[in-house]
Amino acid sequence: MTHKQQPIGTGFTAASTVDDVLAGIDLTGKNVIVTGGHSGLGLVATRALTEAGASVTVGARDTERAEATVAGIERVEISRLDLMDPASIDAFVARYLESGRPLHILINNAGYPAPAEIVRDARGYEAQLATNHLGHFQLTLGLHPALRAADGARVVNTTSGAQRMSDILWDDPNFTGGGYHPGLAYAQSKTANVLFTVELDRRWADEGIRAFAAHPGVIATTSFNSAVGVESQRAQGLIDEAGEPIIDPERGKKTEAQGAATIVFGATSPLLAGIGGVYLHNSEVSELNDNQPAPTAQEVTADVVSHSIDPQSAQRLWALTEQLLDR
């Protein structure tokens, strides 16, 4: 399989932060949407992008909480968005399109923390697939006119190194036949993020819309990792005996500013001009690595693997997603 997963020599490292990747970049006049941009990595990205001059719309299910969190940050507005509710997504899209603003950057960042027992949306779809992939797919396609109007736009899908752990469960992506496991469901949704990136870029690159999948690394303070409990976090090497996060970016364990760097890099860096449809890691285009060892408590490897960037799988997932969304 030919692929585009070739590092380009950005000069950034695993320890680079949002400030590092945004140095010298002026986003004045640029419009950005960040789903989940009021917490965790999304909040770090929102703050950094506004400090560079951008105007950011944050999509959030709990608008009161989001308003309180972003209070004091200039050029930020909150718009209600529930990624498990197709009507909410359509309403969000309609509000944005009615504003007449072009959309220069869309960061599909919000995620559903892996529940121990399966959770389904009103359609019966598994919550992680519904939120992490299906909702963002519907949102992105709805915003296509605004992205096209930007005359050069980027879509960044926040993914995870967990993509290496599972392909799409083609026969039963929603676990209707049982066999649910939270980590497996999460891995599938993160693979879907990468495959969506590959096919989106293939379809829209000629319109000046480029897509990137960004792996931020492992951040102990995110809702996904903090939800597993203290003992599990210790066993995974995410926190020490005192309960403090272990920061070791070279081994994949990062601060939020380091993790959000790759997301912001994908959204803004001129080093990515002419590139798209790739998985980013450590503010660099990841190499393809199908032989990386399993993650351990000491080190988390997270390069992209073949099943996550397979172009035929990407087209197959697009068709499956349209079928699930009945669109």
Distances (CA, A) of 170 to 108, 150, 167, 175, 317: 23, 35, 8, 10, 9
Listed residue (97, 198, 109, 98) closest to 144, CA to CA? 97
Amino acid at 230: V
Is 125 part of the annotated catalytic residue set? Answer: no
Cβ atoms of 228 and 169 within 8 Å: the answer is no
Within the chain, residue ranges assigned H as helices are 18-22, 40-51, 63-70, 86-99, 127-129, 136-142, 144-149, 182-204, 223-226, 230-235, 256-268, 306-309, 311-325
Catalytic pick among 96, 125, 186, 279: 186
Amino acid at 153: A
Looking at residue 110, the DSSP 8-state letter turns out to be -
Cβ atoms of 298 and 22 within 8 Å: the answer is no
Sign of CA dihedral 68, 269, 106, 218: negative
Token pair listed for 280: 């980013």
* β partners of residue 58: 34, 78
Listed residue (264, 278, 267, 285) closest to 309, CA to CA? 278
Listed residue (73, 80, 138) closest to 108, CA to CA? 138
Listed residue (16, 22, 20) closest to 53, CA to CA? 22
The residues carrying an active-site annotation are 186
